[in-house]
Amino acid sequence: MPTEVLMPALSPTMEEGTLAKWLVKEGDSVASGDLIAEIETDKATMEFEAVEEGVVGKLLVPAGTEGVKVNTPIAVMLADGESAADIGATTSQPAAQEAAPAKATPKPTVGVAAAPKTPEGNRVFASPLARRIAQDNGIDIASVTGSGPHGRIVKADVESAKASPKQASPAAQSVPAPAPSGPSTDAVTRMYEDREFEEVKLDGMRKIIAARLTEAKQTIPHFYLRRDIRLDALMDFRSRLNKQLDYRGVKLSVNDFIIKACALALQQVPDANAVWAGDRILKMKASDVAVAVAVDGGLFTPVLKDAEKKSVSALSAEMKDLATRARDRKLAPQEYQGGSFAISNLGMFGIDSFDAVINPPHGAILAVGAGTKRAVVGQDDAVTVAHVMTVTLSVDHRVIDGALGAELLGAIRDNLENPMLMLA
């Protein structure tokens, strides 16, 4: 029987996407693992793999189509002995199927292959690649929550399970639309009907940013801790290191040292290395630090995992790679999900200080301002000129109390003001 290829959920927040490009045409034979399409999600452009072999019978959605809902049929695959004449029965009467989903007999879909069962006897739907990764890593495939069509377990789900065995359901991970606030769209449009303006349509990324930041400000009890950090020792140390690393083509930035300082501080103050998990707090062992990267139309927060174990030069190289792929929207979901702490640096734009919004479920985010020369009073009451940077730690009070947040910020400052100790 012909099987439908459904629009996949390639990220936990994805509700619809753009079918950017077909990599196959009708009549092509494909094998499991072959790339068949490029799909633009709310965060990235990702390649979509076939998980069963067959022949492409019909492409239902043209390339370039926007707003394709998750689980919408986008193509039909044919098995041996089947022809295009067999497709009609598979794709007919969609309205009736939607009206009575409970009574409808589930149709086979690409990506729903033979799979193990849970202890309760329920069938587990998983792609062959996901099952292979789970087997190689000793993961019980039945314990993984799938984010693919009809709950199918895909590669990204198993990759996430390697770091966090207990996964929330896709429904729990989805981001609710922000509650209406302020005047309606019609009311605002009428207010400016006598003025010239351009209406900008919200893309998937901007919708998600609006929803998540509204949720964060409405539900997270933020408090803010501010501190000045002297950078003279760091600037001198960085200059000397860059001269010695020049032959390797390595150039370390101040931001690279900030990432390292925060990663070590989370180890020095382990109670602050935590996330809010609804009805409990999860204390993390590793320092997985997210760093905000501005892209056209929004931002990403790629995560540098196990940052406390990596050298500053390794963090620098990894950050450059993640930032480049973020701007090209080529990051995989597991590369920008997770972490317990984030950094947002606007110092390069000349911003002296600002307050950042916490990215749930993180416990805190560090807002970094510009390093500037300022007059400071030394220990002998003498006024001197120093290189000073103002940082603001936004803290989730459910996870971190005031004294603990102050201890974390103090550890970050100590690391940056004594940079050689970070290499010890």
Other C-beta atoms closer than 10 Å to the C-beta of 253 total 16
Alpha carbons within 13 angstroms on the beta-carbon side of residue 8 total 30
Say if CB 157 and CB 127 are below 8 A apart: no
Amino acid making up residue 141: I
Active-site residue, selected from the candidate residues 222, 362, 387, 397:
397
Say if CB 51 and CB 31 are below 8 A apart: no
Alpha carbons within 13 angstroms on the beta-carbon side of residue 83 total 1
Q: Are strands 73-78 and 3-6 parallel, antiparallel or unpaired?
A: antiparallel
397 part of the active site: yes
Catalytic residues: 397
